[in-house]
Amino acid sequence: MKLTIFAATGGVGRLLLDQAVAAGHEVTAVARNPGAALPGAARVVTADLSTAPAATLGDAVAGADAVLSALGARSRAEAGIAWRGTRAIVQAMRATGTRRLVVVSAAPVGTVPSPDRPRPPRHDPGDGVFMRNLFAPLVKSVLREHYADLARMEDVLRASDLDWTVVRPPRLTDRPLTGTYREAYGRNVRAGWSIPRADVAHCLLRALERPETVGRTIGIAT
């Protein structure tokens, strides 16, 4: 397949890029600072999604069978990059007729208010008592800006007419790929505390082979 990967030098993005190239896909890697060594098989596009000209993004996604995004803020100062960047990606895809988009979000986001969902469910149906009453509220308090950014990113997707899929992992680790993670549609995975970044990348690529994931959120965890 011909794929375009955004945030291709980040924690999940770089693993996604490596796995896509290893699988034989034709890949365009888009990154703000692609200084890190990237696979020679990948075409590299340098673009800051907050300032990149529409023509640059259009060129990056034109002709792609699918677009994958690992956008996410690395600090509070970067909060907003996920929804604004995804909005720019969606606009470029609409302009070029590219339809399939798979993105990374986060497990708590289903219960985070956003402009289009000001009253989300209080609890995720996949969360147990401890997660609902102690851990989730604590994490959402600490990472409030990050999750608000991702919740608004999901608004952008739902408002689009694209064939999107959202993958919502819990805490990310640097453990090796297992390929044996659990999934749950429309909810978090029960007792799902963490997952390797490599497995998140694997799930993103695997979603491209499953038409039933279109228009769905997928909770994943080991």
Q: Where are the chain's structural domains?
A: 2-221
- Band (pLDDT 50/70/90 cuts) for residue 37 is low
The predicted structure's pLDDT at residue 215? 98
User: Amino acid identity, residue 161?
Assistant: D
- What proportions of the chain, in percent to the nearest 5, are helix, strand and coil? 40, 20, 40
- What distance lies between CA 124 and its chain's CA centroid? 19
DSSP string, 130-153: HIIIIIHHHHHHHTHHHHHHHHHH
Helix (H, G, I), strand (E, B) or coil at 221: strand
- What distance lies between CA 147 and its chain's CA centroid? 13
State the average pLDDT for the chain. 90
The pLDDT tens digits of the residues spanning 104-138 come to 999 999 999 999 999 998 888 888 665 655 556 65
The conformation of residue 7, written as its DSSP 8-state character, comes to: S
- Is the model's pLDDT at 142 over the cut of 70? no
The pLDDT tens digits of the residues spanning 53-87 come to 888 999 999 999 999 999 987 777 777 899 999 99
CA distance 203 to 41: 22
The predicted structure's pLDDT at residue 153? 97
- Is the model's pLDDT at 145 over the cut of 90? no
CA distance 113 to 58: 31
Class for the domain spanning 2-221: alpha beta
Q: Give the residue among 220, 123, 217 at the shortest CA–CA distance from 172.
A: 220
Contacts of 101 (CB under 8 A, 6+ apart): 66, 67, 68, 69, 89, 90, 93, 157, 160, 162, 163, 164, 165
Q: Encoding tokens for residue 109?
A: 């986001």
The predicted structure's pLDDT at residue 83? 95
- Is the model's pLDDT at 216 over the cut of 90? yes
